[in-house]
Amino acid sequence: MKLNTIDLHSHSNYSDGTDTPEELLKKAQETGLNALALSDHDTVAGIPEFLAAAEKYPDLLAIAGVEISTLYFRREIHIVGIFLDHSSVELQIFLKDIQLKRRQRNETMARKLTSLGYDIDIEVIRELTKGQIVGRPHFADYLLKNYDFADAQEIFDKLLKRGAPAFVPRSLPSPVEAINAIHQAGGIAIWAHPIYRRSKERSWCRKILKDLVPAGLDAIEAYYTQFNEQQTQIIKDLALEFDIALAGGSDYHGSHHAGVSLGSGYGELRVPADILPELLRRAKKQK
C-alpha cells in the first residue's frame, strides 16, 4: 500500500552505503514509498544500475541523484542534486576531480593510521569496496575487523573524527560550484541537512541562504532523519522566506548508520509526496 511518502536522500554500496541500488529499490517498494532518489557521495556510478533495476518497479519513481560535499567558510556543506542527467560530461568531469582529491586524502589517512600503529593497506580496502568510492566508514570497517575495537563509533572517536589523530581534512569545491555542476546536468540543487548540532540554527541557515539562493539553490531539506519538529518548522519558514522548495530524505546508508531505515529514518520521519510537484516543476525549468 502506498503511503504518499518519498525518500530523496539515500546511499548505495557505490559510495558508503551497504545496499546495492536494486536492494534499495526493493526496500522502497516494500516500505510503500512513492519515490526514491539515489544520491551517493560524489559519484553517479550506481545510477545506471539503479535506473535499470527500477523497471521492475513501475509504481515507484526512481530519481537519479548525487550528494556533493562542499566547503563554505571552513564549514562542510552537502548539496544534493536530483532529477539530473548522470551522463552529463560536465558533471562527470566535476565529480572525477572530487574523487581524485578523495583518493589523495585516503592515502594520507592510511599513512597516518600506519604511523599510529595500525597497519593499513589502502589497496585491500579498495578491493573490499569493489573499487567504489572509499570513505572513512570503510576505514572503520577495516579497523574493526583487524583490531580490538568495540564498534565503529569508538574508531571514529579515537582516530577518524575531526580533531582525532588520523583525521585528514578534505579539499572540497564551493557550494556554488556544486550548484552550477548540478544545473549543467539538468538537475536541481538541494541543501542537505542544513542544521546539525549547531546553536542559533535559524540565523545560521539564513546567513547561508542569503548567499546560496542568489547562486541558484533550488530547495532545502526540511524533512530529515535527525530533525525534530521545531527544526523542520525552522526550515519550512526559511524556505517560504527565500522562495525555495522543500525536500527531504532519510540519508539511509544501510548497516553503516544503525537504526536508520529507508523512508522513515529512526521511525518518525515522513517526507510527504506532495512536495514532489514543486520539485518537478523546478527541474523542468533546468532542462
The pLDDT value given to residue 131: 56
What residues does each domain of the chain span? 5-88+173-286, 96-160
Class of domain 5-88+173-286: alpha beta
Q: Which three cell numbers stand for residue 101?
A: 582529491
pLDDT digits (tens, 9 = 90+) for 129-149: 765 778 888 899 899 999 999
The pLDDT value given to residue 90: 95
Answer yes or no: is pLDDT of 182 > 90. yes
C-alpha separations of 39 from 2, 7, 69, 157, 214 in Å: 22, 10, 12, 26, 24
Answer yes or no: is pLDDT of 121 > 90. no
The pLDDT value given to residue 70: 96
pLDDT band, very low/low/confident/very high, at 1 (cuts 50, 70, 90): very low
The pLDDT value given to residue 16: 84
User: Among residues 34, 59, 62, 33, which one has the least CA distance to residue 49?
Assistant: 62
Is the four-CA dihedral 47, 91, 160, 228 of positive or negative sign?
negative
